[in-house]
Amino acid sequence: MLSRKQSNELSQRVISVLSKERLSKCSKIQIQWMDRLIDQSLEKVDNDPNQITNEMIVGIYEMVTEHLQPYDF
């Protein structure tokens, strides 16, 4: 489990990588999917948020918005 500081830093990085504008267009379900996938990614790297790359964040976003829960769904 991440500390509050680590969680906030990761959240800010996600916002920085994806932009507030792009995230604001996501539905509640899409955000929940992204949270789950980031949590799964964190488990794979022993909860080290520094190992979550910007490319992984973009990949999770694309997986959710293009495949799991597309905007036009």
* 29: CB partners within 8 A, 6+ apart: 69
Q: Which residue has the higher pLDDT, 41 or 1?
A: 41
- pTM of the full structure: 0.92
Dihedral sign for Cα 11, 14, 15, 20, please: negative
pLDDT in tens, 53-72: 999 999 999 999 999 999 76
